[in-house]
Amino acid sequence: MQKMELLRNCSLWVLPILFMILCSNGVNASHQVFMRLQSSSAFSVRKIHRTGYHFQPPKHWINDPNGPMYYNGIYHLFYQYNPKGSVWGNIVWAHAASTDLVNWIRLEHAIYPSKVFDKYGTWSGSATILHNKPVILYTGIIDANNTQVQNYAIPADLSDPLLRKWIKPDNNPLVVADKSINKTQFRDPTTAWLGRDGLWRILVGSVRRRRGVAILYRSRDFMKWIKAKHPLHTSAKTGNWECPDFFPVSTNHTEGLDTSFDGENVKHVLKVSLDVTRFEYYTIGTYHTKKDRYIPDDGMTDGWKGLRLDYGNFYASKTFYDPLKNRRVLWGWTNESDVVPTDAKKKGWAGIQAIPRKLWLDPSGRHLVQWPIEELEILRKQKVELRNHNLDKGEMVEVQGITAAQADVEVTFSFSSLKNAEEFDPSWADLYAQDVCAMRGSTVQGGLGPFGLLTLTSENFEEYTPVFFRVFKAQDKYKVLMCSDASRSSVRNNIKIYKPSFAGFVDVDLSDKKLSLRSLIDHSVVESFGAGGKTCITSRVYPALAIFDEAHLYAFNNGTETITIETLNAWSMNKPER
């Protein structure tokens, strides 16, 4: 075992409070144009930092996952892709197919600019199974002024199991902005749902005087769409709503529901991606079907202080109902944080998709729960285990026998008492969780925590990305902070590298005095799930030393309370077919 003193000697990296949240999260706007670079094809692709088992094409830029669906035994993933360069531009709907959501076949592009109604762009959208036939709704850009309309596409040949060719009928566009809508902020139609009245409904994201808007449209035949008098939901001071998603969740089981489900024991979720913060937020509430209005539950917050699907590098997500396994599956884009646009050509690629996750409503009704799809386990190999191992203050243990740069780790920590939990400073009440993490990181000795995993660690601890818990006492309650801290993830001095202390609070009952953590480590991404998926954080990191076989993995404790590793299971991960 090695002492945490090695880590404390590192300089403390302090994040300017609130500035990062309110001004930048290291993500360029997904539609930021770099004219001279967008068609500059990669001459080579740097292998360092490319992922082993996360989805990414062989080269060039990707962003939003689009239109995921299950149809006739095949899973389909479409995604925004630049076939000509490694920055955003020339966007098409790239297409891949799979039978297990893990191994993918790349197919020809499904949708690309070719018509008057999408001449300047084919942007994000969704898929709907309409009378047992798939239909894609997507945003088309019709002119150089960025005018946005909503179009549809259908398979050219339904007998083709891979649905390789798609056509865009000439009666497009289906939906055009009226005078009340900002036509340049009018995009990303949702999966449609069918009401009891026989009308189909979709949402389109927009903004009106800094007020985010989910504009509602109805149609009887899926061809003629009429805007509802009122939006489904709207919220002030949030900015533009991109990539809205609206779907039902069960209040009494973890199985998914079809988007059109209308029955008892159901809540609805409205998720939006905020242009301003480049993060995603959701609320849980009641969908009043007769009025076509969505009302968030008491205590739910729209916007910047609200719940997030993921508290890290995760944006433009999309869910779909999987009838094969009765689940709702979530896909999200995980952007790069290490390059400026001029560096992208040298790198040759940008962007990955997060591991698809099953999603359901927590029994408390206060938040969603997410967990990597079960199929991911087919990639596991070389399992190692650790049982009932105590970690005193300042101690760590290395997890050996696996490939630490490409691994799946599940660990359950326990502790005998909560009495050593630190007092939660009342002055932190208005801060974001990641601000608290920046001040009380893994090297700051605590009472009950910090404890967790040190991922992608170099031999002499110059680089490491800790994922950890810290338990605070706030009056008569306990607050659990979960952090994924990239601030020491790389010795590279490029000032453009975004290395935040991502964090979220975990809504968990500590009566059993246990906390669990799962981390998916994949060279330049650490995707973590706290307390069975109650809080999720994805970090992009770019080590210079902790790469390939030089990466190490540890479990650690830097609190005065002894922590027991009840169980730790870790696996090296194979590469899927793609």
8 Å CB contact between 138 and 125: yes
Residue with tokens 């239109």: 67
Question: What is the C-alpha end-to-end distance of the chain, expressed in Å?
Answer: 39
- Burial (CB count within 10 angstroms: exposed 0-12, middle 13-18, buried 19+), residue 83: middle
Phi then psi for 205, rounded to 5 degrees? -80, 145
CA distance 129 to 551: 45
Token couple for 215:
């504009």
Give catalytic status of residue 476 as yes or no.
Answer: no
Task: Give the C-alpha distances (Å, rounded to integers) separating 248 from 244, 255, 283, 319, 565.
Answer: 14, 11, 12, 11, 37
E-strand stretches of 325-394: 327-334, 349-350, 352-353, 357-361, 368-372, 380-391
3-class DSSP assignment, residue 56? coil
Token couple for 420:
């050593």
Residue with tokens 């997890």: 399
What radius of gyration, in Å, describes the C-alpha atoms of the chain? 23
For the chain, how long is the longest CA-to-CA vector?
69
Phi then psi for 374, rounded to 5 degrees? -65, -25
CA distance 566 to 415: 10
Strand-pair partners of 315: 333
Contact residues for 403 (Cβ-Cβ < 8 A; gap 6+): 382, 549, 551, 572, 573
Considering the candidates 64, 245, 302, 485, report the single residue annotated as catalytic.
64
Token couple for 97:
């197919």
Strands 105-111 and 133-141: unpaired
Token couple for 539:
């970090």
CA atoms within 13 A on the CB side of 113: 18
3-class DSSP assignment, residue 71? strand
CA atoms within 13 A on the CB side of 268: 21
3-class DSSP assignment, residue 91? coil
CA distance 375 to 282: 26
Q: Is the backbone peptide bond immediately before 450 cis, with ω within 30 degrees of 0?
A: yes
Q: What are the catalytic residues?
A: 64
